[in-house]
Chains A and B, each alone.
Chain A
Amino acid sequence: MRPALNGGSLRRRAVTVAVPLLAAALVMTTAACGGSDDPAKPGEKVKLTIATFGEFGYKDLYKEYMAANPNVEIVERITKAEDHHKNLAAHLATNTGAADIEAIEEGWAGQFTANPGKFYNWNDYGAAEIKAQWPAWKWQQGSSAKGEVVGLGTDVGGMAMCYRRDIFEKAGLPTDREAVSKLWPTWEEYIATGVKFKNANIKGSAWMDGPTIMYRSVLGQQPVGIYDADKVVVETNPGVKKAWDLTIDAINKGLSAKIAPWSADWNAGMAKGSFVTLACPSWMMAYIQSQAKDSSGKWDIAAVPGGGGNWGGSFLTLPKQGKNVQEAAKLAKWLVAPEQQAKVFRALGNFPSTVSLYEESVIKDFKNPFFNNAPVGQIFSNSVKTMVPQYMGPKSGDINTAIQNGLTRVEQGKQKADEAWTQSVKDVNALL
């Protein structure tokens, strides 16, 4: 419900009836404010608001769409990801203020898909016909436990393993990416290679940055994750324990540089080689490139151990409070269609979530010169194709935080592995 859709007179009447004194006081002091909500002219033009965060690369697409659909006016709202999701929660809680189309990111998606009542079900707006476009796991992530489709996939992250060629060479490891990928078909072998690297004793370089990303990657490859159907199964699921144990093994073997992602040391470490492998989704390439701009050719990209994986990616949803659901659904479906995903990929590199595109040259022949011309299009699409579907429950974000905190406690030497596990399980149970 945008103010612009309401008559100005209605607004004024509501104010005078509700709080005359306040209004008087306010008008006195804020007479300069205003002009922010000119009432819309009663025309046929439909105004659609779409709220995203960061670079969706939609600006040119809006222009294209408005040119083809002159009856539609698109207004874009961009806020930073954290703010965006907090706002969306507040707007859903109060049933007012949300945009016609709201984007949600993977990390937050579970909380919203767990409340499908707040959104229109995409199944009622023709999603079934285009379902085949997405890999099954992406479709699953945007759906509730009962199968209501809350969000349609936009982009994905995929998963690969970035590694430092130059330091691999110093340690006597192979540097060619095919050969490197063969070093670690499994995570066990990834750890074994790490031990070899450690024994080469390269000063100032550890095998991996920290435990978080490794844990998340292993977990993502298990048949069952945090949730089994709509039940949290952290304690009983061998998949979660496997991800935990493998990561603990890597920590105990001294492979971690003990650096938190996104920290100042992490940024510096990319250039300095503080860690020589880094699990990286497609969007990480730009990050490494910006942080370590003088190390062109030093970083390369191989396949991720265990095969599949994903980190990041978003969805488009239709909040129930939207008034123009038909038009909004039409626009959103157009935005996530394969042709548009390809355009966005070309312009900004957001990796498409459309399986059919992976066979086309736009992806298949895509190479990244900064990373020794690695065929990143193929590497990332392989990881996306082999990724298994897992249901993202409402609390998986907080649960993963609790488990990752446990791993970090072990890494920081505060607790032994089993103590940390016990506390993490306790923390998880407290969340339920």
Chain B
Amino acid sequence: MKNLMYRLDVKGSPYLYIVPFFLLFAAFGIFPLAYTAWVSLHEWSLLSETHTFLGLQNYRELFADEYFWNALRNTAQIWVLSTVPQLLMALLLAHVLNQRLRAPTFWRMTAVLPNITSVAAVAIIFAQIFGKDYGLVNWILETLGLGRIDWQAGTASSQIAISVMIIWRWTGYNALIYLAAMQAVSKDLYDAASLDGASSFQQLTRITVPAIRPTIIFTVIISTIGGMQVLAEPLLFGGGSMTGGSDRQFQTLSLYLYEVAFSRFDFGYASTAAWAMFGIIVIVAAINYFLTSRLRRS
């Protein structure tokens, strides 16, 4: 009898732990997603009553849509420009915050400040920083004799500016995630390293990074997903323009989707774009996973 209970506990109880999550998730997470998958097979304007079934027509159209590919390219570029520095800086910041600081709570609070600042304030301030005629960055460039840049007009310049906004907003967020993981690393390791005369930076690269590698991989996956869905920053940078610049030079995938859904009200095609995005992220994540796990083994 006791044996049976034990077996039931081991085999059955895991499901009890995940059931609450999946029940709620099915209703409020999966259902809307599945519904948009269905919508993506239709000609479906948000305001019209008739929805014509199209099969895969929307998908064929999407794959021939140069603005979709343009948005994908922009998204990938902005992702690289923003994610790599962001995660490196977050790691450094977490390492510093993990030391025995005076007023540790205060310093950790400052790390989350960018994330709780309202996006309206962020938009206004970055518009001023990257202004063409009276912006702060151009003022510095001009003082250094480098000349002004029309940040919005250029492809590279606009994407750099957007990446700066992303890095600013999300570095502290990732630092906190790293910080939590660093707590699980034994202090003995640092003690031993200190005795051996390892510098703080060596401790970071030789002890911390290997120990929290799964968390680093986690943040890479999370920021890949987040990076593919960047919407607020390019929307705000363009002053609310949904096309992301005159030549769509900084229109990301999410912004394109947003344009289709909420400017053109074409719910069907927008859903198609959403699911195509999903497919692409899966492929990217798979490659990512493949590479990082190869790295782990080597």
Query: Which of A's residues lie within 8 Å of B, judged by CB?
Result: 19, 21-22, 25, 82, 86, 89-90, 92-93, 111-112, 114-115, 117-118, 258-260, 262-265, 268-269, 272, 274, 395, 397-398, 401-402, 405-406, 408-409, 412, 414-415, 430-431
B135 located at the interface, meaning its Cβ lies under 8 Å from any Cβ of chain A in the complex:
yes
Within 8 A of A (CB), among B102-153: 124, 127-128, 131-135, 150, 152-153
**Contacts A89-B262, A264-B134, A406-B246 supplied; 20 other A-B pairs, CB < 8 Å:** A19-B27, A25-B24, A89-B46, A89-B265, A93-B267, A259-B132, A263-B239, A264-B124, A264-B127, A264-B128, A264-B131, A264-B135, A265-B132, A268-B133, A401-B242, A405-B243, A412-B246, A414-B246, A415-B247, A430-B67
Interface centre among A114, A265, A406, A415 (most CB of B within 10 A): A265
B14 located at the interface, meaning its Cβ lies under 8 Å from any Cβ of chain A in the complex:
no
Within 8 A of A (CB), among B43-90: 46-49, 65, 67
Prevailing SS type, chain A contact patch? helix
Within 8 A of A (CB), among B238-258: 239-243, 245-248
Bound-complex Cα distance A118 to B50 (A): 12
B23 located at the interface, meaning its Cβ lies under 8 Å from any Cβ of chain A in the complex:
yes
Report if A22-B246 is in contact (Cβ < 8 Å); known contacts: A89-B47, A265-B133.
no
Within 8 A of A (CB), among B149-172: 150, 152-153
Bound-complex Cα distance A41 to B246 (A): 54
Bound-complex Cα distance A90 to B243 (A): 21
CB <8 Å contact, A397 and B246 = no
In the complex, how many angstroms separate the beta carbon of A134 from the nearest chain B beta carbon?
25
B199 located at the interface, meaning its Cβ lies under 8 Å from any Cβ of chain A in the complex:
no
In the complex, how many angstroms separate the beta carbon of B64 from the nearest chain A beta carbon?
11
Size of the B side of the interface (Cβ < 8 Å), in residues, is 35
CB <8 Å contact, A265 and B153 = no
Interface centre among B46, B131, B133, B239 (most CB of A within 10 A): B133
B183 located at the interface, meaning its Cβ lies under 8 Å from any Cβ of chain A in the complex:
no
B99 located at the interface, meaning its Cβ lies under 8 Å from any Cβ of chain A in the complex:
no
| Residues of chain B with a CB closer than 8 A to A21's CB | 23
Q: Could you jot down 20 A-B contacts, CB within 8 Å?
A: A21-B23, A22-B23, A25-B20, A90-B46, A111-B47, A114-B47, A258-B132, A262-B239, A262-B240, A264-B124, A264-B131, A265-B132, A401-B243, A402-B243, A405-B247, A405-B248, A408-B246, A412-B153, A414-B153, A414-B247
CB <8 Å contact, A86 and B239 = no
Minimum CB distance partner of A404 in chain B: B246
Within 8 A of A (CB), among B8-48: 20, 23-24, 27, 46-48
Minimum CB distance partner of B155 in chain A: A414
In the complex, how many angstroms separate the beta carbon of B173 from the nearest chain A beta carbon?
25
In the complex, how many angstroms separate the beta carbon of B151 from the nearest chain A beta carbon?
11
| Residues of chain A with a CB closer than 8 A to B245's CB | 405
In the complex, how many angstroms separate the beta carbon of A341 from the nearest chain B beta carbon?
29
| Residues of chain A with a CB closer than 8 A to B153's CB | 412, 414
Bound-complex Cα distance A412 to B152 (A): 10
B206 located at the interface, meaning its Cβ lies under 8 Å from any Cβ of chain A in the complex:
no
Contacting B247 at CB < 8 Å: which of A90, A269, A409? Answer: A409
In the complex, how many angstroms separate the beta carbon of A327 from the nearest chain B beta carbon?
25
| Residues of chain B with a CB closer than 8 A to A414's CB | 153, 246-247
Report if A260-B265 is in contact (Cβ < 8 Å); known contacts: A89-B46, A414-B246.
no
Report if A268-B134 is in contact (Cβ < 8 Å); known contacts: A263-B239, A398-B264.
yes
In the complex, how many angstroms separate the beta carbon of B217 from the nearest chain A beta carbon?
32
| Residues of chain A with a CB closer than 8 A to B242's CB | 401
CB <8 Å contact, A259 and B23 = no
B263 located at the interface, meaning its Cβ lies under 8 Å from any Cβ of chain A in the complex:
yes
Bound-complex Cα distance A112 to B124 (A): 31
| Residues of chain A with a CB closer than 8 A to B127's CB | 263-264
Report if A93-B47 is in contact (Cβ < 8 Å); known contacts: A19-B27, A21-B23.
yes
Report if A259-B133 is in contact (Cβ < 8 Å); known contacts: A22-B27, A93-B47, A115-B47.
yes
Minimum CB distance partner of B124 in chain A: A264
| Residues of chain A with a CB closer than 8 A to B247's CB | 405, 409, 414-415
Bound-complex Cα distance A262 to B240 (A): 10
CB <8 Å contact, B262 and A268 = no
In the complex, how many angstroms separate the beta carbon of B136 from the nearest chain A beta carbon?
10
Minimum CB distance partner of A95 in chain B: B49
Bound-complex Cα distance A414 to B152 (A): 12
In the complex, how many angstroms separate the beta carbon of B272 from the nearest chain A beta carbon?
15
